[in-house]
Amino acid sequence: MTVISEGATAAPQAAQTAPLLEVRDLHVEFHTRDGVAKAVNGVNYSVQAGETLAVLGESGSGKSVTAQAIMGILDMPPGRIPQGQILFQGQDMLAMSGEQRRKIRGRKIAMIFQDALSSLNPVLSVGYQLGEMFRVHQGLSRKAAKAKAIELMDRVRIPAAAERVNDYPHQFSGGMRQRIMIAMALALEPDLIIADEPTTALDVTVQAQVMDLLAELQREYNMGLILITHDLGVVADVADKIAVMYAGRIVETAPVHQIYAAPAHPYTKGLLQSIPRLDRKGQELYAIKGLPPNLLHIPSGCAFNPRCPMAQDICRTEVPVLHTAGPGRGSACHFWKETLGE
């Protein structure tokens, strides 16, 4: 059912070094009143230092839940991790104590959330919230922490940082708030940053600025970056490789440019076709038919089969493994060759 394919996880440029983070056969389920919702069903992916992995999928595909499991901020209960490993710098984080994991959070792995307004504490100044990282993890004094906070705000190019350090989140614009979130994640120069839809809540022009800043800082600090998004446009410029998720599984992984040129999974293909394009102006926009699956009742066989234009009998009975579909590429489709070859 869950086959770890070599080609699926390793990026071509860093194939021989040990990955910074490796998720192996991760399962996450939520126990609800109506039954067990299987949010993540055997996810494998890895990130190298300095590499950007984009995790793509609709809401409910399990991309954020996977990230929360890596971060160790899943609500458990109702969440549960019945199976899998999350190796960070070679150590399985799922086997660690709560205190060990806490020390990794923020210091070695940091997270940027989607909605900066609700993700920042409304009653504490941004300087306090940034400085808190240094006070808690490095034992700095209030004053030294504030100086560090101003430095960080400068780093993410917030104008007049020294004057604004005592301001509260609601006094900043959306783009500036997201910069503060980024600054907070960068504070202790972590090895890995997980950005969960970092630009979704922003205006398009601001989106590009924030994304560029994030990419630039990542290069500078040589951090690994997991970029969770449902926006294919954001991905193209910054990601090295892409993992497409559907119903808690990875359905396709590939180096970023190959996936745009020739998708190897009908779902990825559908996603690409549903991007509005200028040269198709006036024509009806393509949409993948049907709805994302109910996680309480995931369809048997390939979870995508009810919505797939290529579905055959085998798709309704057999779960496809992640087939190697070229160097660094994988596709969990019985008909990946046909999809690729079309």
d(CA 142, CA 134): 9
d(CA 1, CA 14): 27
Is residue 71 within the footprint of other proteins (CB under 8 A)? yes
Is residue 59 within the footprint of other proteins (CB under 8 A)? no
Amino acid at position 9, single letter: T
Q: Which of 58, 115, 189, 231 binds other proteins (CB under 8 A)?
A: 115
Q: Which of 103, 157, 277, 289 binds other proteins (CB under 8 A)?
A: 103
Is residue 183 within the footprint of other proteins (CB under 8 A)? no
Give, rounded to a whole angstrom, the gap between the first and last alpha carbons of the chain: 27
Q: Look up residue 300 and give its DSSP letter.
A: S
Q: Least distance from C-beta 332 to other proteins, angstroms? A: 30
Is residue 300 within the footprint of other proteins (CB under 8 A)? no
Is residue 295 within the footprint of other proteins (CB under 8 A)? no
Is residue 137 within the footprint of other proteins (CB under 8 A)? yes
Q: Which of 133, 242, 243, 288 binds other proteins (CB under 8 A)?
A: 133
**Cα-Cα-Cα-Cα dihedral of 18, 19, 20, 24, to 10°?**
-120
Which one of the spans 1-9, 11-19, 118-126, 153-161 is the region binding other proteins (CB under 8 A)? 118-126
d(CA 234, CA 41): 26
Is residue 106 within the footprint of other proteins (CB under 8 A)? yes
Q: Look up residue 105 and give its DSSP letter.
A: B
Nearer to other proteins by Cβ, of 134 and 335: the residue is 134
Q: Least distance from C-beta 150 to other proteins, angstroms? A: 18
Is residue 317 within the footprint of other proteins (CB under 8 A)? no
Is residue 224 within the footprint of other proteins (CB under 8 A)? no
Q: Which of 4, 18, 95, 124 binds other proteins (CB under 8 A)?
A: 124
Which one of the spans 34-42, 98-106, 304-312, 330-338 is the region binding other proteins (CB under 8 A)? 98-106
Tell me how crowded residue 213 is: count the other CB atoms within 10 A of its CB. 19
Nearer to other proteins by Cβ, of 8 and 133: the residue is 133
Q: Which of 105, 154, 255, 260 binds other proteins (CB under 8 A)?
A: 105
Amino acid at position 144, single letter: A
Q: Which of 50, 81, 89, 132 binds other proteins (CB under 8 A)?
A: 132
Which one of the spans 80-88, 131-139, 214-222, 331-339 is the region binding other proteins (CB under 8 A)? 131-139
Given a contact cutoff of 8 angstroms between Cβ atoms, the answer to whether 322 and 336 are in contact is no
d(CA 276, CA 153): 36
Q: Which of 136, 206, 298, 321 binds other proteins (CB under 8 A)?
A: 136
- Total residues found in the chain within this entry: 342
Nearer to other proteins by Cβ, of 185 and 235: the residue is 185
Helices marked H in the chain: 6-9, 63-71, 98-104, 116-119, 126-138, 142-155, 161-164, 174-186, 204-221, 232-238, 256-261, 266-273, 313-317, 336-341
Given a contact cutoff of 8 angstroms between Cβ atoms, the answer to whether 324 and 12 are in contact is no
Given a contact cutoff of 8 angstroms between Cβ atoms, the answer to whether 108 and 192 are in contact is yes
Is residue 139 within the footprint of other proteins (CB under 8 A)? no
Tell me how crowded residue 291 is: count the other CB atoms within 10 A of its CB. 10
Given a contact cutoff of 8 angstroms between Cβ atoms, the answer to whether 199 and 210 are in contact is yes
Residues of this chain that interact with other proteins (CB under 8 A) are: 71, 73, 102-107, 110-111, 113, 115, 118-125, 132-133, 136-137, 168, 170-171, 184
